[in-house]
A and B are shown apart, each in its own frame.
Chain A
């Protein structure tokens, strides 16, 4: 039996904007400014969020903050459990990540396995001074000892629910975060 329940919106466009602004301030506070900061987004929506975060950081500090993207596909531990995943691109900003503080950005933190893969990918690319993690939503259910440094919203969910993030750059519709019944599909953000 399938019970049809409408998706519940938990963050709207303005909430997403506020969350990013708050995260930007937290990052700057912890890093004591934007010196040697690099913001790297995890495809797909993490990349857009990283761009927005870097822009905000630059606006606040008055100096551009380098950003890029970090594809983790080839580091995942679940490749053999899903159909073929297209490989995304990795682009580090000029200057790389050696001795920088890298802020990894993703949309949803769930099992922690994507972040584990991201940490491995990062280590293959250089030796950052420190790595921080910023996520728009933390929905719990961690399977690895991984914790976000900066969270837009903590969202208690059941495993049976699906968290969907929509961003205007990627999806062509206003920013939102919704919860819907039904399990997270393989390959969707976790």
Chain B
């Protein structure tokens, strides 16, 4: 059953100038058609939004959907369900699939599978280098010219380590307004099995460490390259205070740099690794409190532009190895809003307008998604999310929409939950449950 029109009655939201608004929002034919006191036409589905907050639909700059190649861990369809449940209306699907998204055809396939699932706009990210090998540029312009219109490129999972390759890539994509999302981690500054923040705990646990300088030094190099080439660089999952300082310095200098942070780097600390539970193994690694606090501050003050999930599903058996052998990554799509809301909005450190900025407006702008992260106003596309700031959420990994269970938030409780996700006027998830399509 589908409705042509949807009325959100009694919602609260924020106008383009940031002022608080309240009233009814009527959605017709995929767009916002009326706001204020609305008399809905007959046949309109009415949603009681009293006490709920209406935000532009969330945009995730950093999602791993595993298809093609590891459909046992996640598919574009299952990842889309998780995204819709989490309040997302667009996700950028990372290129490190098998085969890698390094051609226009591969990008179009991801786009098409996303459309087929129909719950969220799945936007393919293209590889920077062929097969993510870090040596030769992938077909960057062909990916951009494809139906997928790829503008974000990343070798995520690996750092583009060779400075000459990074320079050429930045120069090349400038022509069509692309951006490189860099996994900033100098592989030569750590051992091949590095998997823990380098510090006292990694020393005690005997786990090979990633020093913060491995992140900061690559960010420093890349912002200088961005300045030199006049191109855009985006820092994926910044995780250290040092890395953040470099971003802050580069922004002050006028470099075209943006940065994202994950909910887990904001809220989970290195100390969790003391259990050797591979669910906490992620790259970059969880950092100690002082880094978490610096990242929160950086997000609040705007140095960090966006929250991105780095949703990284893994089949159970890929996590059931010894810690150094287990796969990197954790789930994040379904919990991102609750974590950020509970940590920063509920505590008063961020406003609802800030939350809309970091989870929707800024990421949409970074990825050049014109139909997402838009103001709530008549005529705008109805890519929206309605959240309940008072609802309690206790995470149960077994009730996830993802095919995987590597959920570090399992059994944790949060205040704040996604109530309704709307993509082009159509509800895609209600209270964590995706709609059939």
**Touching chains A and B, CB distance < 8 Å:** no
B interface list, Cβ under 8 A from A: none
